[in-house]
A and B are shown apart, each in its own frame.
Chain A
């Protein structure tokens, strides 16, 4: 006989820290739980008040404030509070207020302490609840990668066409012509005990070799010429298994079977089409195109390969670097074409990629950020017409290929960013030696810099120069960190709005501006401070963790947060592409799953805390 209220039990079972407790303990917890109701806008806990229970939100929403009244957190169903007080002096440090009608479960202090002492997992979940939850979410995702790849069913592009065993070869040929297919399945008729099962297959080639060449009459039954005992593949098998089967048996057609009945046929052309969406294939295709128009025509393949990687559960690093490789290839091919058109360059030069491309963190929606380093022998009067024309050619070409012009004019077409080596070195010396937040406002992008064409070693030398100088300039780091704080994450996510730190509510959030960009900025500051030569944020984070400048565990947290925010952004863009909508970076919380909302909230909290730490580290406590 169930003696505890089953609704309470079911609820606790779903949420940490209770979800990790053994079932019999959970029953005990429920039997000691107390329940309270707080109308919207009533204070639940006052500062300094004695706390006698862990407060768990059963329904509703609660604001948690700091001592100074600043909003610290916003909790909804499954959230809990009061643990700080319980684990310390029993006094409330963060006052709490119901902002919606709220039903609370109280876990009495004695019970809470007993659970905390006896169940390590419970204690861990209470102490680092936000961070562990995110880590686990990311880890689960990575585990799934190995198991998930495309199934053969994704290749079936048309409905099954078949004909019954009593048809003639003439019927079959007519049917194939009408449906314009090169193979036809022969199935048993409805009255046959093996109704709808495959009896055999005929192909264009069979009609030629077994009918016409043999001079058989058109009235010959299909069963006389069909191939029986077919090799087939089950609908739940993977694409690569289909490829292997076709290779091994030298087949051009492979029927797909579901519950012993055919559901379609895969032709070798389907596999080729599928492979053409592979990002490697896209890259090799870029280098085969001879005009800007042909390059621009590849945009659909680029997008398809992006969507495919997302659907195959690639992580953000794989996708970001694949898209960067593709973007780089467009640039390189355009420069090749430009040089063919304009002739060889009058002096050596290096074409630079900046920002997300240089960091290998490129996505679908992105503008072109580029620049040119010219040889010191560059003479504007003699040479600039050439480089100006080349820069214009590349920039226009990139725009045609979906990499829109940079609104901040950070492009090689801008004379300021088309300069000899010594000028570039001067730019960086100025930025680092005489820094001001305003002066650096638009130049952080230059600290992610990569040579993609020409004298790429110049870019490397410039990078080394920067790395050496930057870490020694405290003022520079302070200015960079100040700029990195210009963009802050939102406080939380609710069903249909985003809660800002100042309490405002927005209906959408720009995941780049409020998530990945401030994260990349933050990682860049630390990476410059420790003299890392990496450009990718994940690789920079590895260096940062190794340098041990962050509190323990925070580097890993940032990695998880970056992965999570990036993937939400990526999935959102892939979904838009699949729906034939224009992909962007704006997300409405209502389009997120409860799971994503919860984890995003944690990720933004991590970013927010990391920003505070950065401020403290590079600007001193103010």
Chain B
């Protein structure tokens, strides 16, 4: 399983030097928007999370494969450890280059006609990167947002993007998936607790939200992160313990 593997590796994994990555990409990039993004830089690894500006991001996509599928909507909401700021919240619907499959329509409720009138991803890219600039991105399940954004850029401007993310699903897995069930537990009918967004939120007594609206999911992720921090970390926890 994807999260099992990463959770196990977490402690021994080499820390990426994000400042160096940003610096290197800044030198190589030919795109104005990316230049501005990397120029804003990234906080140093030992920064306490109480001093970090975060932004929770959620993409709704036509599927799970960044190579084949496209982004249909983007939601984001900025926050810090004290408060989530709806004021800076953003929500865009974009036109994917791939065809919208019927079943994904059912999931995120975005229809072909919504898409038809939506701008291409490139039209919102500048605003999106501005919203992420200088902030640490928080997502639930990092297999989606970063890869999709990376591929979308590669396809359009022949240049990808890389930045650290905090994955609330992985933070949840650290607690609930850190060791597999014993045979005895399995025999007794135990199963691993779900670390899906809805179930994770429930563990912290956060209210139920309807899923699959990118903005709502971004807000839900931000709230989950605040709850995780107040239960399991402190305001002095350095960001390097959380990001990947």
Q: A2-B215, A7-B216, A103-B223 are in contact. Are A34 and B83 (CB under 8 A)?
A: yes
Q: Of the listed stretches A18-26, A35-43, A306-314, A592-600, name the one at the interface; the rest are far from the partner chain.
A: A35-43
* Chain B neighbourhood of A35, CB < 8 A: 79, 83-84, 86, 219, 222-223
Output the least CB separation between B26 and chain A (Å): 32
How far is A5 from B79 in the complex, measured between Cα atoms in Å? 14
Contacts of B84 in A (CB 8 A): 34-36
Residues of A with C-beta under 8 A to B169: none
CB neighbors of A among B45-74 (8 A): none
Cα-based distance from A106 to B79 in the complex (angstroms): 13
Chain B residues closer than 8 Å to A37, beta-carbon distance: 204, 206, 223, 226-227, 230
User: Contacts of A38 on B, CB cut-off 8 Å?
Assistant: 230
B91: shortest Cβ distance to chain A, in Å?
6
Chain A residues within 8 Å of chain B by Cβ, number? 26
Quick one: which of A6, A42, A60 contacts B216, CB cutoff 8 A?
A: A6
Q: Given contacts A5-B219, A6-B213, are A31 and B86 in contact (CB under 8 A)? A: yes
Instruction: Say if the beta carbon of A399 comes within 8 Å of chain B.
Output: no
B216 and A36 contact, CB distance less than 8 A: no
CB within 8 Å for A5 and B230 given contacts A58-B207, A59-B205, A103-B223: no
**A52-67 interface code vs B (CB 8 A; 1 in, 0 out):** 0000001110000000
- Interface size classification for chain B: 20 to 34
Contact of A30 among B86, B213, B231 (CB under 8 A): B86
B212 → chain A closest CB, angstroms: 12
> Is the C-beta of B171 less than 8 angstroms from some C-beta in chain A?
no
Which label, helix, strand, loop or mixed, suits the secondary structure of the A interface? Answer: mixed
Main secondary structure of the interface of B (DSSP, over half): mixed
Q: With the chains together, A38 CA to B230 CA distance in Å?
A: 8
- Is A100 positioned at the interface, with any CB of B under 8 Å from its CB? yes
With A2-B91, A3-B91, A34-B84: A59-B207 Cβ-Cβ less than 8 Å: yes
Q: Once the chains bind, are A33 and B215 in contact (CB under 8 Å)?
A: no
- Choose one: B86, B205, B215, B227; the contact of A34 (CB below 8 Å): B86
Q: Cβ of B77 < 8 Å from any Cβ of A?
A: yes
- B85 cross-chain contacts in A, Cβ below 8 A: 34
Residue A179 lies at the interface, judged by CB distance under 8 Å to chain B: no
Could you give, for residues 88-106 of chain A, a 1 whenever the CB lies within 8 Å of some chain B CB and a 0 otherwise?
A: 0000000000001101001
Listed residue (B84, B93, B226) with the most chain A CB atoms within 10 angstroms of its CB: B84
Q: Which A residues touch B93, using CB under 8 A?
A: 1
Is A32 in contact with chain B by the CB < 8 A criterion? yes
B227 & A101 in contact (Cβ 8 Å cutoff): yes
Q: Interface code B189-224, partner A: CB below 8 Å = 1, 0 otherwise?
A: 000000000000000111101100101100100110
Q: How many whole Å from B242's CB to the nearest CB in chain A?
A: 16
Residue of B nearest to A36 (CB): B83
Q: Which residue of A is nearest B90, CB measured?
A: A3
A44 CB → nearest B CB, Å: 12
Residues of B within 8 A of A125 (CB): none
With a cutoff of 8 Å between Cβ atoms, the chain B residues found around residue A33 in the complex are: 86
Interface assignment of B11: CB less than 8 Å from any CB of chain A: no
The smallest beta-carbon distance between B221 and chain A, in angstroms, is: 12
Residues of chain A from 590 to 614 with CB closer than 8 A to chain B in the complex: none
B210 & A101 in contact (Cβ 8 Å cutoff)? no
Cβ proximity bits B95-111 to A, threshold 8 Å, 1 near / 0 not: 00000000000000000
Q: A6-B215, A37-B230 are in contact. Are A101 and B205 (CB under 8 A)?
A: yes
Q: How far is the CB of A26 from chain B (nearest CB, A)?
A: 13
| A8 cross-chain contacts in B, Cβ below 8 A | 86, 219
The contact of A106 among B83, B210, B215, B226, by CB within 8 Å, is: B83
- Please list the 7 inter-chain residue pairs (A to B) with the smallest Cβ-Cβ separation, ordered nearest first: A101-B205, A35-B84, A34-B83, A37-B226, A59-B207, A39-B230, A33-B86
A sample of 8 cross-chain residue pairs with beta-carbon separation below 8 angstroms, ordered by A number, consists of A4-B86, A5-B215, A7-B219, A34-B86, A34-B87, A35-B223, A38-B230, A103-B206
